[in-house]
Amino acid sequence: MLSARIRIAARLVAVAALAAMTAGCFQPMYAERTDGTPGLREKLMGVEVPPVDKPNASREARVQVEVRNALAFKLYGTATGMPPTHRLVLRFTTNRQSLIVDPNTGLPSSENYGIDAQYNLIEIATNKSVMTGTTFSRVSYDMPGSYQRFARSRAYRDAEDRAANEIAENITTRLASFFTAGT
């Protein structure tokens, strides 16, 4: 009984000692740097996001604007950015699939909307690609009633917006990882 308590106390002391030794290794990602190097927020603000080439007045052009706006907000916040050090080139495709079809009307009652995106981060000073990657988003949406045309259209648009925000979040997370770890 006494030896069990001593073992538990020894384990707690060992855990506390390990925690104390590694406490200086961790620092918040978005913290201000005291050594004069730019922090993550400043590095993200130096990423330029040019428009994606999609035909004007198409649904993909609207999604492109939504992805670009979400990326800009996640990178810059409410600021306007800094002089660009990197350029983020995006390419994406969209798809839409019917999941459930009403047998009486032949109209879908549940659909899946997806975006597949490829991105390339280019350092402006050298015009070299420093990071590439792909990401995707799949969101499902239901259409209330088989003849509610405007509700169907709004559900589709909301799915596009949710997928665009998810793509922007995935890319921002990857960029933050790149600028923090360098890989």
Residues 133, 174 contacting (CB under 8 angstroms): yes
pLDDT tens digits, one per residue of 160-172: 999 999 999 999 9
Distance CA 153, CA 62 (A): 14
pTM: 0.78
pLDDT at 78: 72
What's the confidence (pLDDT) of residue 110? Answer: 85
Q: How many CA atoms are closer than 13 Å to the CA of 48, on its beta-carbon side?
A: 12
Given CA atoms 81, 165, 146, 108 in this order, what sign does their dihedral have? positive
pLDDT for res 41: 84
Domains in the chain (CATH in brackets) are 38-181 (3.30.160.150)
Task: Please state, in angstroms and rounded to a whole number, the distance separating the CA atoms of residues 133 and 120.
Answer: 7
Q: Is 73 helix (H, G, I), strand (E, B) or coil?
A: helix
- Residue 25 is predicted with a pLDDT of 63
CB environment 6-38: b (16+ within 10 A), e (fewer):
eeeeeeeeeeeeeeeeeeeeeeeeeeeeeeeee
- Cβ atoms of 180 and 40 closer than 8 Å: yes
The whole-angstrom distance between residue 75's C-alpha and the CA centroid of its chain comes to 10
Which regions of the chain are under pLDDT 50? Answer: none
Asked if residues 33 and 39 have their Cβ atoms less than 8 Å apart, the reply is yes
- The per-residue pLDDT for 31 is 63
